Amino acid sequence: MWALVVLIGAASVSAHLQDPSFDGQKVFRVIPQNDEQVETLNSLASIMEVDFWQPDSVAVVKPKMQVDFRVEAEKSSQVEDLLKESEMEYEVLIDNLQAALDAQFDSKARSASHSYEKYNDWDTIAAWTADIAAQNPDLISRSVIGKTYEGRSIYLLKLGKSGSDKKAIFIDCGFHAREWISPAFCQWFVKEAVETYGKDSVTTTLLDKLDFYVLPVINIDGYVYTWTKDRMWRKTRSKNAGSSCYGTDPNRNFDAGWCTIGASKSPCASTYCGSAPESEKETKALADFIRENLSTIKAYVTIHSYSQLLLFPYSYTYDLPSNYQELNSLVKAASEELASLYNTKYTYGPGAETIYPAAGGSDDWAYDQGIKYSFTFELRDTGRYGFLLPESQIKPTCEETLLAVKYIANYVLEHLY
Amino acid sequence: RAMELSPSQFPAGRAAAVALGYLRYLRGGPGRALELRELRSARRQDIDDVGHKYYLELELGDVLDKDRTVKCTAEVLYPLESTSSAPDVQVALQGELRSTEQADKEFYNHIRSLEKELVAENIPDSHGNVPPELEPIHLLAWVASGYVIWQNSTENTKFHLAQVKHVRQVKRSDEDLQFDYVILLHEMVSQELLPWQVTVLWHPQRGARVSQ
């Protein structure tokens, strides 16, 4: 686990003379399956500067060996193209080496330190994603699934012990900018995974048998805006043509009954559905990722606040999903699990009748893609503090929610399809 | 002719929010804020040429008195012309609420003793914090928002007090305390945040009166 830390340290020393900055440099992890793919790595090393972290030379690489290597920023897309072409299994272990280094050395790059029991601003969360992945390379890897309207990288963490043919559960947070407890939960989830793996049998089994994709903040631009300009902002921060109003409601922007009910066609409205389904770079990135990994993603969970609800499809219609009975029983049980800790009462049911009919939601879209376990959580509270949930409630909220999410994950594991 | 409703479905919840707003206005104060603990049952009756009437059984509590629950029956009538008239609300509480006489007196004397008029903003702040000395002002805002919510709700809205944007005390020559609030109301269906100006007059014996 500390090997990567040592390697980063060693790399920063060894390469220091040539490269004053590691900004944008990527570290890839590949597993060549056969001699042909080993040869691909060899030729890669011959056409550009490749710094092998493990093993330390391309000469000893053999099929089925896990290989980590660093490349310059400008070369990384060429590398990705080559890897894709050769159909070699790969992941981006470190998306930006400079950021990972800064995170370790506690430099000025981060103004506030991360806490799981406080609300963290975006820079702190971004640095944390690099940190947590670097510190737990056997369990976590970080990737970028796209960029926001304002150009920020959308980070995705993949949790799980590496294995073949693993199915996955996708969890996202931070759809709506002002719902600060939501990103706090995603961070908590990751923390619990790394801290209890190998200690708690349920966590260990879940991470051994499944992968968890955790997207800590999807609407990053909006989140930043709530920290800098308007705490009550909800939407993205994209410019709307012909309007002085900004942003689209990302949870009205998916191709699920898009804009037919419970959404507005006005760019100034909080529930503006956008100019078209997936008009937002953020929603498109999420949808693209899910589409690309549809064969492995078996459950979708999206975290919102507030109201203390556990919802399943549909919201764009009052029609019930084909596995309604199953989903209803599942959320009933998950709500009881949640309540078992602090007696927090949740209401559950299909979205349209439980909260309101609303089209364009990511949960409905995921369900219609074939992901038959699709849920929306609306976390604490029921209106006393609403969006402004005190930090003292982060821990209890996350603890109880985790029970429900683990319950659902276990169920999915036992009912894989 | 009254239809049984599921408490977990939104129409019942919206009517309950109106009843709660009304109750907060009626019975709330700087030392008391009522919250909905549970919606036990709901029925709806459509009355020709009049409107939709909801019959509710609620369990309420004081946010400052976690151990006590008070039962309440409420009737909420949304008139047909809902955009121009407020819902009519009738409530009956079964049981006693915790007395706030002492807290009210302390708050009254404290504010009257201030040299400079009280001014505050962003309650709670971005991180959910409310300085203890401002908690009574926060709870009084619930009284104000309760009134506004009651007066402005329809079957297609559900309001909550999101934040006190600004509050300013206005010293008066009579015995009342006066607070001019700008409150932010969150409307759940449209997801809009609506600022409202509300003036609250309050006195320990006379309770709260709101003018918009």
**Which of A73, A104, A135 is where one domain is finished?**
A104
pLDDT attached to residue A44? 87
pLDDT(A28) > 80: yes
- The residue of A219, A384, A393 whose CB has the most chain B CBs within 10 angstroms, and thus the best one to mutate to test that interface, is A384
Distance to chain B for A78, nearest Cα, Å: 44
Asked if residue A313 and residue A165 are part of one domain, the reply reads yes
Note whether B86 contacts A: Cβ–Cβ < 8 A.
Answer: no
Residue in chain B closest to A230 (alpha carbons) equals B126
pLDDT(A88) > 90: no
pLDDT attached to residue A303? 98
pLDDT attached to residue A208? 98
Instruction: Render pLDDT for A111-131 as a digit per residue (tens, 0 to 9).
Output: 589 999 999 999 999 999 999
Q: Do B127 and A119 make contact, defined as CB atoms within 8 angstroms?
A: yes
| Averaged pLDDT for residues B75-80 | 96
Instruction: Render pLDDT for A296-321 as a digit per residue (tens, 0 to 9).
Output: 999 999 999 999 999 999 999 999 99
| Averaged pLDDT for residues B5-17 | 96
- Which CATH number is A368's domain given? 3.40.630.10
Q: How confident is the model at residue A16 (pLDDT cuts 50, 70, 90)?
A: very low
CB pairs A-B closer than 8 Å: 73
Which is the catalytic residue, given A378, A391, A399, A400?
Answer: A378
| Averaged pLDDT for residues A361-376 | 98
Q: Which residues of A touch B161 (CB under 8 A)?
A: 383, 386
User: Would A185 be classed as within a structural domain?
Assistant: yes
Query: Which residue numbers of A have CB closer than 8 Å to B's CBs?
Result: 118-119, 226-227, 231-232, 234, 249, 262, 264, 269-271, 307, 345, 347-349, 353-356, 382-393
The three state secondary structure string of chain A is CCHHHHHHHHHHHHCCCCCCCCCCCEEEEEECCCHHHHHHHHHHHHHCCCEEEECCCHHHCCCCCCEEEEECHHHHHHHHHHHHHCCCEEEEEECCHHHHHHHHHCCCCCCCCCCCCCCCCHHHHHHHHHHHHHHCCCCEEEEEEEECCCCCEEEEEEECCCCCCCEEEEEECCCCCCCCHHHHHHHHHHHHHHHHCCCCHHHHHHHHHEEEEEECCCCHHHHHHHHHCCCCCCCCCCECCCCCCECCCHHHCCCCCCCCCCCECCCCCCCECCCCCCCCHHHHHHHHHHHHCCCCEEEEEEEEECCCEEEECCCCCCCCCCCHHHHHHHHHHHHHHHHHHHCCCCEEEEHHHHCCCCCCCHHHHHHHCCCCEEEEEEECCCCCCCCCCCHHHHHHHHHHHHHHHHHHHHHHHHCCC
Domain ranges in chain B are: 2-211
User: Would A49 be classed as within a structural domain?
Assistant: yes
C-alpha to C-alpha distance for B58 and B39, rounded to whole angstroms: 5
Instruction: Render pLDDT for B99-152 as a digit per residue (tens, 0 to 9).
Output: 999 999 999 999 999 999 999 999 999 999 999 999 999 999 999 999 999 999
- The residue of A355, A378, A388 whose CB has the most chain B CBs within 10 angstroms, and thus the best one to mutate to test that interface, is A388
User: Would A5 be classed as within a structural domain?
Assistant: no
The predicted complex's ipTM stands at 0.96
Q: How confident is the model at residue A82 (pLDDT cuts 50, 70, 90)?
A: confident
- The residue of B191, B192, B193, B194 whose CB has the most chain A CBs within 10 angstroms, and thus the best one to mutate to test that interface, is B191
Note whether B66 contacts A: Cβ–Cβ < 8 A.
Answer: no
Distance to chain B for A128, nearest Cα, Å: 20
- The residue of B38, B126, B190 whose CB has the most chain A CBs within 10 angstroms, and thus the best one to mutate to test that interface, is B126
**Total of domains in chain A:** 2
Asked if residue A138 and residue A98 are part of one domain, the reply reads no
Asked if residue A87 and residue A134 are part of one domain, the reply reads no
Partner residue opposite B128 with nearest CB, options A232, A354, A390: A390
Q: How confident is the model at residue B212 (pLDDT cuts 50, 70, 90)?
A: low
User: Would A117 be classed as within a structural domain?
Assistant: no
Partner residue opposite B10 with nearest CB, options A249, A356, A385: A356
Ranges A47-61, A102-116, A224-238, B103-117: which has the least confidence: A102-116
The overall average pLDDT reported for chain B is 96
pLDDT(A231) > 50: yes
pLDDT attached to residue A6? 52
pLDDT attached to residue A60? 78
Asked if residue A298 and residue A261 are part of one domain, the reply reads yes
Q: Do A269 and B190 make contact, defined as CB atoms within 8 angstroms?
A: yes
Asked if residue A208 and residue A89 are part of one domain, the reply reads no
Note whether B156 contacts A: Cβ–Cβ < 8 A.
Answer: no
Distance to chain B for A262, nearest Cα, Å: 8
Q: Which domain holds residue A206?
A: 122-414
pLDDT(A14) > 50: no
Q: Which residues of B touch A234 (CB under 8 A)?
A: 191
| Averaged pLDDT for residues A228-239 | 98
pLDDT attached to residue B156? 95
Asked if residue A230 and residue A336 are part of one domain, the reply reads yes
Q: Which residues of A touch B131 (CB under 8 A)?
A: none
Q: How confident is the model at residue A157 (pLDDT cuts 50, 70, 90)?
A: very high
Q: Do B161 and A383 make contact, defined as CB atoms within 8 angstroms?
A: yes
Give me the percent of chain B exceeding a pLDDT of 70: 99
Domain B2-211: top CATH class: alpha beta
| Averaged pLDDT for residues A343-370 | 97
A80 a catalytic residue: no
Asked if residue A158 and residue A91 are part of one domain, the reply reads no
Distance to chain A for B38, nearest Cα, Å: 9
| Averaged pLDDT for residues B177-206 | 97
Asked if residue A232 and residue A352 are part of one domain, the reply reads yes
Q: Do A353 and B10 make contact, defined as CB atoms within 8 angstroms?
A: yes
Partner residue opposite A391 with nearest CB, options B127, B188, B191: B127
| Averaged pLDDT for residues B153-178 | 97
Asked if residue A162 and residue A55 are part of one domain, the reply reads no
Q: Do A390 and B36 make contact, defined as CB atoms within 8 angstroms?
A: no
Asked if residue A265 and residue A147 are part of one domain, the reply reads yes
Q: How confident is the model at residue A164 (pLDDT cuts 50, 70, 90)?
A: very high
Distance to chain A for B13, nearest Cα, Å: 9
Asked if residue A296 and residue A408 are part of one domain, the reply reads yes
Q: Do A353 and B9 make contact, defined as CB atoms within 8 angstroms?
A: yes
User: Would A378 be classed as within a structural domain?
Assistant: yes
Residue in chain B closest to A388 (alpha carbons) equals B128
